[in-house]
Structure 1
Amino acid sequence: MSNTESSLSEQQEIRLEKLQKLRELGVNPYPFEYDVTHHSADILENEDKFISEDDTEDNSHSVSVAGRVMTQRIMGKASFFTIQDSQGTIQIYIRRDDVGVEEYNKVFKKLVDIGDFVGIKGFVFKTRTGETTIHAEEFHFLGKTVRPLPTPKEVENEEGETVTYDAFSDKELRYRQRYVDLVVNTDVKKVFKQRTQMVQAMRNFMNDRGYMEVETPILQPIYGGAAARPFKTHHNALDMDLYLRIANELYLKRLIVGGFDGVYEFSKDFRNEGLSRFHNPEFTQVELYVAYKDYNWMMDFMEEMIEKVALELHGTTKVTVGENEIDFKRPWPRIPMYEAIEKETGFDLAGKSEDEIREIARELSIHVEDEMGKGKLIDEIFGETVEPKLIQPTFITDYPIEMSPLAKKHRSKGGVVERFEAICNGKEIANAFTELNDPVDQRERFEEQARLRTEGDEEAMTVDEDFLKAIEYGMPPTAGIGIGIDRLAMIMTNSDSIRDVLFFPLMRPEKD
């Protein structure tokens, strides 16, 4: 056992002894409830409402707060400590003569540790140094911690610089123990609050336009709607294999067939792929489908919605991401895919055969596999040469038909479809089509995907006969889009990794 583990074990043993002493004193270390009337931010932001002008230590506005003990300055008959609740931290002043000798001497001074939950009832005043503080008139023990929190310490070195020791900063440990990360690294909460605010702004934007939020199956007998490998499971009662959805597109389009003009879903999707800074096998996206619209309308819709999200989160359309300032102000550039590739590489891929494109990829030193079809080859070239350079939000439009089995053929250009991807900060954040509603054409595209599967492309789509049946009943002209919530949240919160915007990202098993 390492010295760290030995030290931690000793601290746990001490806390367990304190737990027993609390019980011996008749104090329930884990009571059932506590009446909280205010939170730290309520008090600190509205202190004039709580503090009497003529007497700083007497106020008819009593408060009841609760939270974790985060710092302690234990003195003789009176002490200061801080508690952290869901909104922030606030200082508490506690005196033996107010809360009682036993409560103060035996419980507070000897048995309360950093991280313990306590409840305080009292009044608000300002200390001589001007800090808004709660004067405790009642002290209640609410929860004993038996494992100590990491406690960063700031020390001034010989050069007068402030140095932090024992910070809970190891990223892998933070992701594994998010519950600790949220307690000791308070800025982390801000990221997740902004993520929720972002999702709510998008939801409000779509609701205000009359689109209906729906739910579709996560367990699917046939997976589809994207090019990806699925997770597979088995239903015992029906004795059938099922898949976790990789997208909810085909079910939402079934609802357009059924007569809804606009439906959307914030969905958890699952793709059996590797982990990276931009990929988690379980991720969130919102998909929206609107009848009688096309991809041109959807570009207008998306840039208006994301501009509004930036304004709601930051009060400006400009967002700082790493070293870049990204401006979501409309309109965003719109560049056809072949044109974007030619600009960066000098190669015009339009009309080229699969073999010609494979040879161009090799000339560009891009690694390609023999089983890659034309669409995959073009996607690799675009991903290596163009996508990383698109920092400002940009629409890449008019994708090769081989890359887009669910999109409608372009109305005026041969060999491409009416599709766009929104690229920002070097990564795709959205994918959208003028949806294919021709059942004959759709069947041919599915069959081509089936051929690619037989040639080794594990991410090629499968034939979904029920979806084909649905659009054979007739689907109106429709625009559809999927927006990656996790990647958009990374940009909106200036987060470096997708794991920074997921409460509990998937992690490799811990080694002993």
Structure 2
Amino acid sequence: MSHDTEGQSLNELRKIRHAKLKKLKEAGKDPFENEKVDVSHYSQFIKDNYDELENEKVTMAGRIMTRREHGKATFINLQDKEGQIQIYVRLDRIGEQAYEDFQQFDIGDIIKVDGIVFKTKRGEVSVKADTVKLLTKSLQILPEKWHGLKDTDIRYRQRYVDLIVNPDVKNVFKIRSNTIKAIREYLDNRDYLEVETPILDTIAGGANAKPFITHHNTLDIDMYLRIATELHLKRLIVGGFDRVYEIGRIFRNEGMSIKHNPEFTSIELYQAYADYKDIMELTENLVAYVVEKTLGTTKVTYQNTEIEFKPPWKRMTMEESCKEFAKIDFSTIASDEEARQLGKKLGIDVEPEMSKGHIISEVFETYVEKHLIQPTFITNHPVEVSPLAKRNVENPAMTNRFEAFVNTWEIANAFSELNDPVDQRQRFLEQVKEKETGNEEAHPLDEDFLNALEIGLPPTGGMGLGIDRLVMLMTDSPSIRDVILFPTMKPLDMARDKE
């Protein structure tokens, strides 16, 4: 039960806390003065090592989460970085004045406790307080039943409160951090070099996506937040770094959904003298390693569906997947016009300039992706939707590319990098034509990147993997907002106006 008086409005309770703060300051006990605390032990460690710590003195610091009165004693739950532990505060142990001061402490206040480790009669590992000191006064009211809130919007806006009152949320972000550590460990052990490339650039390249535009005042030019790290990383391969990767934020001015946030985190890597098949093997082994290293198993359960990440993953060409799941054999369709007519029959929004390759891609997205639950590599994408991938020698209409799908989601995209500057220029020009006809996501012409290719890009395999979606799967999180500490949100005043 909350120590705050029941039935009072939040405004009244906040006024009471402000009055307490004023009284403290008037008495020369400002709780916001700097105070160094040499914490000796944390909650879970004490519980796990009780036999060694019984009757030992400890110094702890944390936030009051609950309290209950028991005559001239009070039990509080103290929360620190490891969890919660019970603190037993007695008047005759800490002194009358200190106990009187303690009675003014509220749920949410941050305190320091010096005391002795012991077990209560009920067998609960606790700390018997010798001194209790207020470090920070909480002027807001913590929700008592956070899990009962239906408005998840508040959880995302006030993540700091979400983390305080919901231990499961904190665990999600520990898993996220450990996931990134494991990715680095795997690649660093394979002689990859971690690098950093620009977030601001004059060209938004490396992907088919709509960018965010900003303006640099001193240079008086428009610039873009990066939509990928690809083109700069490949420049580094040209420069002589044979294996590079970057983990960083990517920005795309596109729709929002449970799988999409305007800014997200990806890992992109490039390896000289490798092809997409090498990168396919690397990807399945990397993901399996990360999942097992972080969770202790290669199996996860996402929304009641068990997913096994252990290699090898299933492999299918895009045309094979369309034949299996959409019952359409594109090898029997000879012309673009025939493909467009098929697309119309299938209910696809067909534009006059669309080719057979575009239709294959649309059919795949509409009829195939929803069937790809277990980890699956889809290879041989049409050249029209793969402007940076090398053509397949046996079928030049396709590229040496793969996308990795799990739970119907694309989690990774990779290919044998196009290193023919003549072919690359032509594809860029075709993309420019698409942009002129209204495709805002078409790739721009990048003359400096073409110059780098003319200097010489060795045969290279590259891959990008979405870390947010991987963490969603690993933590059984229904929305990408659940795995981003501070997801993109509409300003509160705008959200209220909409209501």
Band the TM-score falls in, shorter-chain normalisation: over 0.9
**1:313 shift after superposition:** 2.1
1:93-133 per-residue CA deviation (whole Å, 9 max, x = no partner) reads 0111222211102x111x11111111101110011100000
Query: For 1:339, which of 311, 320, 339 is the aligned residue?
Result: 320
Query: For 2:221, which of 236, 240, 246 is the aligned residue?
Result: 240
| Aligned position for 2:87 | 92
- Contact residue 201 and residue 225 of structure 2 kept, 8 A: yes
Q: Distance in 1 between matches of 2:262 and 2:488?
A: 7
Write out aligned runs for 1:350-361 (5 A): 350=331, 352-361=334-343
Q: What TM-score do you get using the length of structure 2 for normalisation?
A: 0.94
> Helix, strand or coil for the counterpart of 1:74?
strand
Matched, 1:397 2:379: yes
**1:186 shift after superposition:** 1.2
Q: Distance in 1 between matches of 2:298 and 2:203?
A: 41
Q: Given residue 254 of structure 1, which amino acid in structure 2 is its aligned partner?
A: R
Matched, 1:475 2:457: yes
Please tell me the root mean square deviation across aligned C-alpha atoms, in Å. Answer: 1.7
Greater displacement, 24-33 / 92-101: 24-33
1:27–1:77 distance in 2 versus 1, CA, 3 Å: same
Q: Distance in 1 between matches of 2:254 and 2:351?
A: 17
| Aligned position for 1:256 | 237
Q: Distance in 1 between matches of 2:85 and 2:257?
A: 39
Greater displacement, 375-384 / 315-324: 375-384
**1:359 shift after superposition:** 2.3
> Helix, strand or coil for the counterpart of 1:93?
strand
Q: Distance in 1 between matches of 2:63 and 2:351?
A: 55
1:353–1:279 distance in 2 versus 1, CA, 3 Å: farther
Q: Given residue 486 of structure 2, which amino acid in structure 1 is its aligned partner?
A: F
Q: Given residue 96 of structure 1, which amino acid in structure 2 is its aligned partner?
A: L
Query: For 1:79, which of 63, 74, 85 is the aligned residue?
Result: 74
| Aligned position for 1:167 | 148
**1:223 shift after superposition:** 1.0
Query: For 1:305, which of 286, 309, 314 is the aligned residue?
Result: 286
Greater displacement, 357-366 / 303-312: 357-366
| Aligned position for 1:141 | 134
- Contact residue 408 and residue 437 of structure 1 kept, 8 A: yes
- Contact residue 361 and residue 382 of structure 2 kept, 8 A: no
**Would you identify which runs of 4 or more consecutive aligned residues in structure 1 move more than 6 Å?**
none
> Helix, strand or coil for the counterpart of 1:103?
helix
Write out aligned runs for 1:492-511 (5 A): 492-510=474-492, 511=495
Query: For 1:291, which of 256, 259, 272 is the aligned residue?
Result: 272
Greater displacement, 198-207 / 366-375: 366-375
Identity %, equivalent residues: 52
| Aligned position for 2:112 | 119
Q: What TM-score do you get using the length of structure 1 for normalisation?
A: 0.92
| Aligned position for 2:123 | 130
Q: Distance in 1 between matches of 2:283 and 2:158?
A: 36
**1:454 shift after superposition:** 1.1
Write out aligned runs for 1:144-223 (5 A): 144-152=137-145, 167-223=148-204
Greater displacement, 68-77 / 239-248: 68-77
Q: Given residue 44 of structure 2, which amino acid in structure 1 is its aligned partner?
A: A
Q: Distance in 1 between matches of 2:272 and 2:340?
A: 38
Q: Given residue 70 of structure 2, which amino acid in structure 1 is its aligned partner?
A: M
1:30–1:469 distance in 2 versus 1, CA, 3 Å: same
Q: Distance in 2 between matches of 1:50 and 1:6?
A: 42
1:454-498 per-residue CA deviation (whole Å, 9 max, x = no partner) reads 111110000000000011001110000000011111111111110
1:151–1:352 distance in 2 versus 1, CA, 3 Å: farther
Write out aligned runs for 1:26-65 (5 A): 26-33=28-35, 34-51=37-54, 59=55, 61-65=56-60
> Helix, strand or coil for the counterpart of 2:9?
helix
What are the ranges of 5 or more consecutive residues in structure 1 without an aligned counterpart? 52-58, 153-164
| Aligned position for 1:19 | 21
Greater displacement, 267-276 / 246-255: 267-276
Q: Distance in 2 between matches of 1:370 and 1:495?
A: 40
| Aligned position for 2:304 | 323
Q: Given residue 483 of structure 2, which amino acid in structure 1 is its aligned partner?
A: V
- Contact residue 422 and residue 429 of structure 1 kept, 8 A: yes
Q: Distance in 2 between matches of 1:280 and 1:220?
A: 21
**1:342 shift after superposition:** 1.6
- Contact residue 340 and residue 355 of structure 2 kept, 8 A: no
| Aligned position for 2:435 | 453
> Helix, strand or coil for the counterpart of 2:82?
coil
1:433-455 per-residue CA deviation (whole Å, 9 max, x = no partner) reads 10011111111111111111111
Q: Distance in 1 between matches of 2:112 and 2:354?
A: 63
- Contact residue 430 and residue 481 of structure 1 kept, 8 A: yes
Matched, 1:104 2:93: no
1:166–1:13 distance in 2 versus 1, CA, 3 Å: farther
Matched, 1:489 2:471: yes
Q: Distance in 2 between matches of 1:420 and 1:136?
A: 61
What are the ranges of 5 or more consecutive residues in structure 2 without an aligned counterpart? 1-5
**1:358 shift after superposition:** 2.7
- Contact residue 67 and residue 84 of structure 1 kept, 8 A: yes
> Helix, strand or coil for the counterpart of 1:84?
strand
Q: Given residue 215 of structure 1, which amino acid in structure 2 is its aligned partner?
A: E
Q: Distance in 2 between matches of 1:188 and 1:141?
A: 27
- Contact residue 372 and residue 457 of structure 1 kept, 8 A: no
Q: Given residue 319 of structure 2, which amino acid in structure 1 is its aligned partner?
A: Y
Greater displacement, 288-297 / 405-414: 405-414
